[in-house]
Amino acid sequence: MTCITLLTTITRWQAQLMQQMLIAHDLATRMINLGAKGTASYLEVGILMVSVRSHNKSSKRRARDLYWHEYFR
């Protein structure tokens, strides 16, 4: 199974928002904690990565298009 990384951020709320948008479009996602940074508060927990698991190129393209549409209007 292949994955593409759509977002790397230090804020959990931003990673969760992107993950929920992808789930709403029927794309399987996972959030990976790449390391802690200082105290683990809700807004700044370290480095998080949102990846999309896809079986074909069309779902990868759909996830990438959704990301660009939401964050770079």
pLDDT band at 67 (very low <50, low <70, confident <90, very high): low
User: Average pLDDT in the 31-52 region?
Assistant: 60
Q: Which residues, other chains included, contact 37 with Cβ-Cβ below 8 Å and sequence gap of 6+?
A: 10, 44, 45, 46, 47
Mean pLDDT of the chain: 68
From the list 8, 13, 33, 23, the residue with the least C-alpha distance to 66 is 23
Whether the per-residue pLDDT at 72 is higher than 60: the answer is no
Sketch the domain layout of the chain as residue ranges.
Answer: 2-71
